[in-house]
Amino acid sequence: MKVALVVGTRPEVIKMSSLMLECQRQGIDFFVLHSNQHYSPDMDAIFFEELNLPAPKYNLNVGSGTHSNQTGNILIKIEPIFEDERPDVVLVQGDTNTVLSAALAAAKLNIPVGHVEAGLRSYDRTMPEETNRIVTDHLSEFLFAVTSTQEEILLGEGKDCKKIDVVGNTVVDALIENIEIAKEKSTILADSEISSKGYFLVTAHRSSNVDNQSSLEELFSLINGVLGTYTEDILWPVHPRAMKNIKKFNIEIPGRLKLIEPVGYLDFLHLQNNAKLILTDSGGIQEEACALKVPCVTLRENTERPETVDVGASILVGRDKTKCLDAMELLLSRKADWKNPFGDGSTARQILEILRSRL
């Protein structure tokens, strides 16, 4: 069995890491193909180094661009590689433009696609990721659903039950593999002059939150509301999309909000584990906060990860300051004793076992 593992962005590298390492451990014939949708060292190379991942055999160097430009460039560059390599399966993870392009190129060459994190739906078609998820699921022969929620969604969309397997999320594989290492190695709390459970952690990079001036100002008003209500400082490792717009719109940064560059995975796990509460619009961070039992205010109107809300780990607030403060009060008053719904760290092993038995 020859497996192609496609990555393009920060979360894909992290969430595909257990598949790369498990393929190595099991001696499976595989190669990593990187679109380089993300390319800044702190959004890309740092994760290969920290997680001891094999270097990509192919690097498409597509970089940033508009949606169609990026998607089209990946399609054009990936086709000859798939034709030449002829893998038995192409595995993609999540909902980025890289995922859509790789799945489409493989499907057109009649190479089976396996979608890791299949069946997620926000039901918000203004979100670029929603289109990518839907199309990728429809192109895939292997639908690796995270929980029974996605299985039901996929069945409801008419997918063949033989294509669907509920396997958890590789985000937990990576977390379990690295959380103790993070505790040992990370010096981020001291470096950022913060103490365990003495700060709130923020991230935001969704187009709906950061690309437009009034939305970004609303987000900062929410942050000011939090700073005005609580004595804790806020730490925000800023995604390049958000930083570009903070600068472009000349946003005023409040005193107790510390903006830092994006940090590595070990530092970020440590920051999450020690935060009093997390405020985020990130998909992966909603899951990690839930698995780490740190309460999470989700800066979204909807989520394709409803499990986090259902177990009581997260509350959706959009950019509404009042809703956010109410949610924080509630989340901080209740015990973080929910069960992690995203699996037990065996997702990569399950996926490879399924592929071995069916290919």
Reported for 332-336, long-range contacts at CB under 8 A and 24+ positions apart, including other chains, are: 332/276, 332/277, 332/295, 336/293, 336/294, 336/295
Instruction: Exactly one of 34, 38, 205, 239 is catalytic; name it.
Output: 205
Cα torsion 58, 133, 210, 13: sign: negative
115 is catalytic: no
Site for ligand UDP in 14-43 (CB under 6 A): 14
Q: Which DSSP string corresponds to 315-338?
A: EE-TT-HHHHHHHHHHHHHS---P
When asked if residue 146 is in the footprint of ligand UDP (CB under 6 A), the reply is: no
Give the phi and the psi of residue 175 in degrees, each rounded to 5: -65, -50
| 1: helix, strand or coil | coil
- The DSSP call for residue 203 is E
**Residue 97 or 149 with smaller CB distance to ligand UD1:** 97
When asked if residue 284 is in the footprint of ligand UDP (CB under 6 A), the reply is: yes
| CA atoms of 226 and 229, how far apart (whole Å) | 5
- Single-letter residue type at 54: P
237 binds, among ligand UDP, ligand UD1, none (CB under 5 to 8 A by kind): ligand UDP
Least distance in Å: CB of 24 to ligand UDP?
21
**Residue 64 or 224 with smaller CB distance to ligand UD1:** 64
Using CB under 6 A as the criterion, what x/- string covers residues 250-279 for binding ligand UDP?
A: ------------xxxx--x-----------
When asked if residue 300 is in the footprint of ligand UD1 (CB under 6 A), the reply is: no
Least distance in Å: CB of 240 to ligand UD1?
3
Least distance in Å: CB of 304 to ligand UDP?
10
When asked if residue 302 is in the footprint of ligand UD1 (CB under 6 A), the reply is: no
| CA atoms of 76 and 347, how far apart (whole Å) | 31
| CA atoms of 160 and 8, how far apart (whole Å) | 28
Contact with ligand UDP (CB under 6 A): which of 106, 113, 172, 285? 285
Q: Which residues of this protein are in contact with ligand UDP, per CB under 6 A?
A: 10-11, 14, 203, 205, 237, 239, 262-265, 268, 282-285, 288
Which residues are annotated as catalytic? 205
